[in-house]
Amino acid sequence: MSEISKLEKNLGVKFVNRDLITQSVVHRSYLNEHPEFELDHNERLEFLGDAVLELIVTEHLYRTYPNPEGELTNWRASLVNAIMLAGIAKDLGIEDFLYLSKGESADANSKARMYILANAMEAVIGAIYLDQGYEVSRKFVHDKVISKLPEILEKKLYEDPKSRFQEISQDKVGVTPTYKVLEESGPDHAKHFVIGVFLKKDMIAKGEGTSKQEAQVSAAEEALKIKNWE
């Protein structure tokens, strides 16, 4: 069985034009090292797949739930964000088929890899749409992405990590978390923050980011894991 046949089997989709599914897993960095490669990178497919994914998810939410726009927007964001899409891509084994530069290949557990996987997932959806049309794309998105919605609603994963950590902290221990900058470095245009999240005087976790808000969210995410409050 060829590599592309294995990927098709993982996805549950058989392509007419296999160049499309191959291109969906080609990262820009690979072409920098292999300029002779016959296909382009996946960014145009990602652009298309992002729109297809958003339409299918939005249509499902609109038709299924009478909730106000703000709630539906939060639910949609929780389904199509990079963390969710990267996780689905991993579950589908897409990572094993990525065309990456040697540097990117070696950087398996980085934040950059998460975005590469999420983008590849969108590119795969774009490829399915071009090759198979809207109905097959809709079934794929329902099976692989929208199927995550019940868990998201049950665990309130659509709430941002800071809100979740605050709500659970107040419920479980009667304390509102506080955040403190532990380190601040870099020039104004490229700041780096390390922030701690505290319950009273106890630091629960640290987070890093290019803004205070990003670092606080990172700290809250880590705190949820440490406290096993996810």
Q: Which pLDDT belongs to residue 122?
A: 98
Q: Which residues are catalytic?
A: 50, 122
Instruction: Round the CA-based radius of gyration of the chain to a whole number and report it.
Output: 20
We report the CATH number of the domain holding residue 177 as 3.30.160.20
Whether residue 174 sits in one domain with residue 147: no
Number of domains in the chain: 2
Write down which residue in 99, 121, 153 finishes a domain. 153
Structure confidence at residue 16 as a pLDDT band (50, 70, 90): very high
Per-residue pLDDT band for 65 (boundaries 50, 70, 90) equals very high
Q: What range defines the domain where residue 48 resides? A: 3-153
Which of 70, 204, 193, 210 minimizes the C-alpha distance to 221? Answer: 204
| CATH number for position 68 | 1.10.1520.10
If you average pLDDT over residues 69-87, what whole number do you get? 91
| Two tokens, residue 72 | 């539906």
The tokens for 200 are 């009273």
Mean residue pLDDT of the chain comes to 93
Same domain, 65 and 131: yes
- Per residue in 136-146, pLDDT (tens digit) is 999 999 999 99
pLDDT at 157 over 90: no
Q: Is 206 helix (H, G, I), strand (E, B) or coil?
A: strand
Q: Is the pLDDT of residue 163 over 80?
A: yes
Would you say residue 83 has pLDDT above 90?
A: no
